[in-house]
Every structure is written in C-alpha cells, then in structure tokens.
Amino acid sequence: MTEHDPVVVEPITPHTPEPETPSPGPQSVQPPPAAEAPSHPVDPVRAAAGRLGGQRVHELVRLGLEYEREHGLKAGRQRQKQLIQLGRRYEQEHGLAASKPRRRKKGDVWKEFLAALARVVKPAHRRALEHLVASVQPAHPVEG
C-alpha cells in the first residue's frame, strides 16, 4: 500500500449480543397480556345517557343535512356544530322538536334545606334544629 492509494474506511458496527431465549419450562410460559378491565366500574345509567346523547347528536346531524338539501345551502367550516344547529332548526320548522321536561315546582328553599339537614344531623342536635324549622315556618300560610 502506498501513500496515494485511496483508503477505504468501513463503518464500525457495535457488537450486540443476541438476546438469550429462555429455556422452555412451565415457569417461563406466560399468556399474552389481555386487555385490562377499567379500573373503575362503569355506571350503567351514565353509559345509557351517553349513548342516548350520541344518538341525539347523530339524529341532529342527519336533520341538518336534510335542512341543507331543502334550502340549497353549502357546507360551512365548523361542520359538526353547524349541522347540529341546522338539525334543531329543521325540527322547529317541521314540528319535530321534543318538548323539554318541566322542572318540578320548588317549595321554600330554606324549609327543604332544614328538613334535609334534620335527617343527617346528630340526634343530640336534632331537637334544636326542629325548633329552628318550626320558627321558619309561618304560623298562617299565605295563599297566593
């Protein structure tokens, strides 16, 4: 080899030992990891409510597409939100909107609070609380 001969440099590869395979035996055999169950229990009522909410959104999207077809509209940028709004408008125009459930009529808030408190307070304090509830209630209810 002379000074003017080209020098070929081969890349150095680090020597990595091959991983050892464990010897087959009853102790080393493990089943493949299964899908782990959720760490918290799923509330079936909330799961059902979530499914119903999803179905409602899909129905509103379908009605929104129908509204676009009827009125010759183009798609907007915020597609999902726009379709839900148009679905609600379609329901109003065609009389499909479900009535919202009415709230139950509320009584005297303080009276309800003190009655609930009387149920959970210690028995030693219950008599004093009952006197307080009696003082809050009017002697002659006003009809209106």
Q: For 33-58, how does the pLDDT look when each residue is reduced to its tens digit (9 = 90+)? A: 666 665 778 899 999 999 999 999 99
DSSP 111: H
Lookup result for tokens 């609070």: 113
The single-letter code of the amino acid at 86 is L
At 144 the pLDDT is: 45
Q: For 85-137, how does the pLDDT look when each residue is reduced to its tens digit (9 = 90+)? A: 889 888 888 888 766 776 766 777 777 787 788 888 888 888 888 888 778 76
Please answer whether residues 90 and 67 qualify as being in contact, where contact means their C-beta atoms are separated by less than 8 angstroms. yes
Contacts of 63 (CB under 8 A, 6+ apart): 86, 87, 88, 90, 91, 96
Lookup result for tokens 């990891």: 33
Confidence (pTM): 0.37
Contacts of 115 (CB under 8 A, 6+ apart): 133
